[in-house]
């Protein structure tokens, strides 16, 4: 895990060097580099790693708060060319648990976006996100809109890459193609490393200006690898799932500077679980017995995204019901999530924000006879997180940040615990370097206009 995190850190550094090598004269180049320091109190989060059963205290549990210091850098840059837009955010940092000299770790947060025109009729969008963290990281925009699931402390890495192509067929109709790859790995043995790979194809039609209807089909695979069977020593589980979806989506402007998108459809999941059961008499000398189990399930999926961003005020709301690879659960699940955020500028220097999310995972396999660690009920994990935060720029190069978060979770599977704790944090950011205006967001989906003819 440590080697993988180091390699991804080197990859992020190489990508950063490549971006910085772009001369400002090549386009609208903007860059901001800050140094940041933060101190936070995580309530009883330190107890999580000492619990032996969900909701039950383990040996050595204490009521002491866990205090963490964090120091690092925050780089944001963008470069807009006539046919291409590149934007990047990268934040490496180091964390110390002040009450434990041996508990520390490095966090990397990367968000990279690239969009542009390959030809006059073919455009491309690429989004790469990476989070490598020693624990739950609520600071990262990577988790915005993503379900929160608190595990025991331990290094974990999340990577997501999405590539999309749009081929214009007629004035109002386009062919949509894309592929996505995600990888989530954990240091803990009782969490399942998860890899997903999917491809999509669809047709989009613009019925009116900025009003679009899309029909999209996807096919993919969830690979959960080989892991120890919960509750039983010796048995191994090798599990995977094939997933297909079919959806229709509509998007249009919402008031002024707002966006509305709604999606509905269905999914089909074909899960395969292989049990490798060793011989109880001669487990090392006899080949384990393979027991294959297949499970099929269909259901509906849908989502709603509503947002508005004005000069001094912005908000967003998101709802989603979908099939999911889970957060280390080791099998396909049905997921519901709700997220909302609100931010406002008070004067020219003070920014206030509120955000919250709720998620739950339901087991698609109602019959769990081969997994005695989980009761036969559907609900296996529920979690919620809410934050209030502020940012005060008390000078042209210095900014004070602070806030409060509350995290709550209920679970019947290890290592996701029943917990409820508060987080307080305060930090200071100093601007080291700035060039140009505020960098553009990597999540921006607009493709630069291209009025030039294709190169021959």
pLDDT at res. 27: 73
CA 453 – CA 456 distance, rounded (Å): 9
pLDDT at res. 281: 60
Judged by DSSP in three states, 142 sits in helix
Name the DSSP letter for residue 288: P
Give the CA angle between residues 306, 311, 312 to the nearest 5°.
90
Write out the two tokens for 443.
């999540």
CA 410 – CA 36 distance, rounded (Å): 33
pLDDT at res. 212: 94
pLDDT at res. 68: 86
CA 224 – CA 227 distance, rounded (Å): 8
CA 376 – CA 293 distance, rounded (Å): 17
**Span 129-180, pLDDT tens digits:** 998 887 666 655 444 445 677 776 667 888 899 999 999 999 999 999 999 9
pTM comes to 0.82
**What's the start-to-end Cα distance of the chain, in Å?**
47
Helix (H) or strand (E) holding 118: none
Dihedral sign from CA coordinates of 386, 392, 397, 398: negative
Residues of the chain with pLDDT under 70: 1-26, 44-64, 101-103, 135-147, 152-154, 227-236, 276-292, 365-379, 414-415, 445-456
Nearest to 374 by CA among 15, 22, 54, 109: 54
Write out the two tokens for 408.
């709550």
Alpha carbon 264 to chain centroid, angstroms = 22
Extended beta strands in 134-235, E state: 156-168, 173-186, 194-208, 211-228
CA 344 – CA 150 distance, rounded (Å): 29
CB atoms within 10 A of CB 64: 11
CA 334 – CA 364 distance, rounded (Å): 6
What are the b/e assignments for 412-446, b being 16+ CB within 10 Å? bbbbbbebebebebebbbebeebeeeebbebeeee
Judged by DSSP in three states, 331 sits in coil
Give the CA angle between residues 207, 440, 442 to the nearest 5°.
75
Torsion of CA 48, 54, 58, 61, to 10 degrees: 40
CA 152 – CA 148 distance, rounded (Å): 13
Name the CATH architecture for the domain at 2-161+208-217+253-265+299-435.
Beta Barrel (2.40)
CA 271 – CA 273 distance, rounded (Å): 7
| Beta bridge partner(s), residue 357 | 339, 385
Helix (H) or strand (E) holding 76: strand 67-80
CA 339 – CA 259 distance, rounded (Å): 16
* Domains in the chain: boundaries: 2-161+208-217+253-265+299-435
DSSP 3-state helix, strand, coil percentages of the chain (rounded to 5)?
5, 60, 35
**Span 405-420, pLDDT tens digits:** 998 888 887 667 788 8
CA 340 – CA 333 distance, rounded (Å): 23
Judged by DSSP in three states, 63 sits in coil
pLDDT at res. 221: 95
Alpha carbon 39 to chain centroid, angstroms = 24
Q: What is the 3-class SS of 300-323, one letter each residue?
A: EEEEEEEEEECCCEEEEEEEEEEE
What is the phi-psi region of residue 338: left when phi exceeds 0, alpha when psi lies from -120 to 50, beta otherwise?
Answer: beta
Contact 302, 265 (CB under 8 A): yes
- Burial class of 5 by CB neighbour count within 10 A (0 to 12, 13 to 18, 19+): buried
Name the DSSP letter for residue 106: E
CA 76 – CA 201 distance, rounded (Å): 32
For strands 156-168 and 173-186, give the pairing.
antiparallel
CA 86 – CA 79 distance, rounded (Å): 5
């Amino acid at each position: 895990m440590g080697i993988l995190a180091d390699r991804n850190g080197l990859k992020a550094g190489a990508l950063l060097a490549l971006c910085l090598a772009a001369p400002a004269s090549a386009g609208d180049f903007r860059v901001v580099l800050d140094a940041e320091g933060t101190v936070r109190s995580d309530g009883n989060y330190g107890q999580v790693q000492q619990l032996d059963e969900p909701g039950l205290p383990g040996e050595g549990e204490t009521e002491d708060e866990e205090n963490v210091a964090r120091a690092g850098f925050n780089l944001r840059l963008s470069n807009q060319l006539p046919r291409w837009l590149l934007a990047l955010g990268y934040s490496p940092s180091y964390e110390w648990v002040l009450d434990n000299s041996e508990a520390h770790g490095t966090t990397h947060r990367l968000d990279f976006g690239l969009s542009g025109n390959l030809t006059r009729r073919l455009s491309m969008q690429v989004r790469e996100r990476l989070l490598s963290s020693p624990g739950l990281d609520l600071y990262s925009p990577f988790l915005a809109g993503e379900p929160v699931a608190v595990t025991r402390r331990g290094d974990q890495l999340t990577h997501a890459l999405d590539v999309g192509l749009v081929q214009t067929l007629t004035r109002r109709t386009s062919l949509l193609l894309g592929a996505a790859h995600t990888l989530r790995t954990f240091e803990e043995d009782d969490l399942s490393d998860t890899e997903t790979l999917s491809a999509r194809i669809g047709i989009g039609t613009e019925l009116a200006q900025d009003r679009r209807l899309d029909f999209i089909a996807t096919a993919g695979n969830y690979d959960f690898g080989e892991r120890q069977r919960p509750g039983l020593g010796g048995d191994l589980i090798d599990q995977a799932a094939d997933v297909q979806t079919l959806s229709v989506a509509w998007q249009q402007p919402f008031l002024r500077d707002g966006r509305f998108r709604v999606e509905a459809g269905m999914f089909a999941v074909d899960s395969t679980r292989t049990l490798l059961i060793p011989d109880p008499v001669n487990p090392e000398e006899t080949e384990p017995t393979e027991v294959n189990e297949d499970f099929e399930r269909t259901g509906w999926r849908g989502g709603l995204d509503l947002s508005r961003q004005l000069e001094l005020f912005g908000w967003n709301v998101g709802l989603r019901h979908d099939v999911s690879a889970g957060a280390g659960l080791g099998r396909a699940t049905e997921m519901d999530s709700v997220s909302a955020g609100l931010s406002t500028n008070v004067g020219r220097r003070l920014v206030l924000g509120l955000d919250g999310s709720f998620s739950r995972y339901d087991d698609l396999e109602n019959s769990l006879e081969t997994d005695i660690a989980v009761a036969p009920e559907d609900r296996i994990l529920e979690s919620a997180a809410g934050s209030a935060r502020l940012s005060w720029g008390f000078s042209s190069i210095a900014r004070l940040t602070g806030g409060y978060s509350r995290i709550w979770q209920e679970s019947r599977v290890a290592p996701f615990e029943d917990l409820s704790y508060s987080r307080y944090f305060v930090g200071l950011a100093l601007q080291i370097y700035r060039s140009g205006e505020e960098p553009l967001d990597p999540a921006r989906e607009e493709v630069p206009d291209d009025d030039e003819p294709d190169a021959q």
